Amino acid sequence: MQKKAAELERMAEVLVTGEQLRLRLHEDKLIKDRRHHLRTYPNCFVAKEIIDWLIEHKETSDRDTAIKIMQKLLDQSILHHVCDEHKEFKDMKLFYRFRKDDGTFPLDCEAKVFMRGQRIYEKLMNTENTLLQTREEEGVTYERTLVALEFIDWLLQEGEMPTRQEAEHLGRRLLEHGIIQHVSNKHHFVDGGLLYQFRMNFRRRRRLIELLNERCRSIPENHDSPFCLRKQGSEGGNTSFLSVRAQWCSLHPVVLLKRQVSPEELQAPGGLYIKKTFTIVGDAVGWGFVVRGSKPCYIQAVDPGGPAAAVGMKVL
């Protein structure tokens, strides 16, 4: 069961990463109608131009790695050659297209669950509601939680599902696919008073190099020290949420300390460590940094083009 869930989470990361890339390429006008031999190919891009773009935007440092990234998306049916004549992504003036742009994306059961989960996530983030709140369960306080029965009520009110039984089944599917989880990871999704959180943050800006890292691991499930990052001085808002214990890929682990540092050492006045507060305004895809560990947690990586880097956060 856990192996299957990990595979589904991995597939979700590929889908989300591919969609974020597609939107960025549309924004930069690299995806457009193109002509070749008197024929027009709608919504496509030139492979060679994309390789240049990936290097220019520091998604990778060399053309070989860029090709591997795009090949990964091609293998996962995120994109394809416009005439399906090439099963390999080539650094040439060939036309490729995202399947979502021509309606050929294969919508199997798993893909449908992730797309439904992403739509529900965005609905909750973009509307004023009281569903996501700080609550307690078994004496532990958790941020941004959903009460299962209230979530089901909301799904019915929004027309997402016709009956409570089907809404509960959807909740179970979302949990099995790693999109939501019980706050202490002890229960499946049931129509009742238990608390759940979104495990996956669809808005986190993915680094494309993550596609090549097969050894992804989740943040340790320690219900004694859940973390939730949020904007300071904000009463909610569209980008004030980062999912608890989201899955991150360890890309370039760097050991900065040779021993475990306690929270007391970090907070001690006049100690070795300096306290600095950052106010980060999240953008449409996330906050731009990766959190690891517990008691204490630490910043593992900062996206050089993200909101965190813009206010001065960096990893030494």
* pLDDT tens, residue by residue, 205-242: 889 998 987 644 443 333 333 333 333 333 344 333 33
Selected residue with higher pLDDT from 291 and 197: 197
Asked if residue 148 is part of any domain, the answer here is yes
118 is a domain residue: yes
pTM of the predicted structure, to 2 decimals: 0.59
Is there a domain that residue 270 lies in? yes
How many distinct structural domains can be found in the chain? 3
Q: pLDDT for 74-107, tens place per residue?
A: 999 999 999 999 999 999 999 999 998 988 887 7
Strands 140-147 and 133-137: antiparallel
Q: Is residue 128 part of a domain?
A: yes
Q: Write down which residue in 143, 168, 198 finishes a domain.
A: 198
Q: Report residue 244's pLDDT band, with 50, 70 and 90 as the boundaries.
A: very low
Is the distance from CB of 78 to CB of 116 less than 8 angstroms? no
Q: Which of 198, 231, 263 is the last residue of a domain?
A: 198
Domain that holds residue 63: 2-101
3-state helix, strand, coil in the chain (%, to 5): 35, 20, 50
Whether residue 205 is contained in a domain is answered as no
Closest among 165, 142, 114, 157 to 8, alpha carbons compared: 114
Q: Are strands 79-81 and 32-36 parallel, antiparallel or unpaired?
A: unpaired
Q: Where are the alpha helices (DSSP H) in 1-57?
A: 2-27, 47-56
pLDDT at 3: 65
Domain-ending residue, one of 61, 85, 101? 101
Q: Do residues 221 and 310 share a domain?
A: yes
How many CA within 13 A on the CB side of residue 83?
Answer: 8
Distant-in-sequence, close-in-space partners of 127: CB < 8 Å, separation ≥ 6 = none
Please indicate, yes or no, if residue 296 is contained in any of the structural domains.
yes
pLDDT of residue 277: 75
Residue 242: name the closest of 67, 80, 121 by CA: 121
For residues 184 and 152, give the distance between their C-alpha atoms in angstroms, rounded to a whole number: 20
Whether residues 113 and 85 fall in one domain:
no
- pLDDT at position 220 is 34
60, 138: one domain: no
- 235 plus 143 within the same structural domain: no
Q: What is the CATH number of the domain that holds 76?
A: 1.10.10.10
Residues 20 and 89 grouped into a single domain: yes
Share of the chain above pLDDT 70, in %: 77
Residue 15 CB contacts under 8 Å (≥ 6 apart), including other chains: 76, 78, 111, 114
Is 164 a residue whose pLDDT tops 60? yes
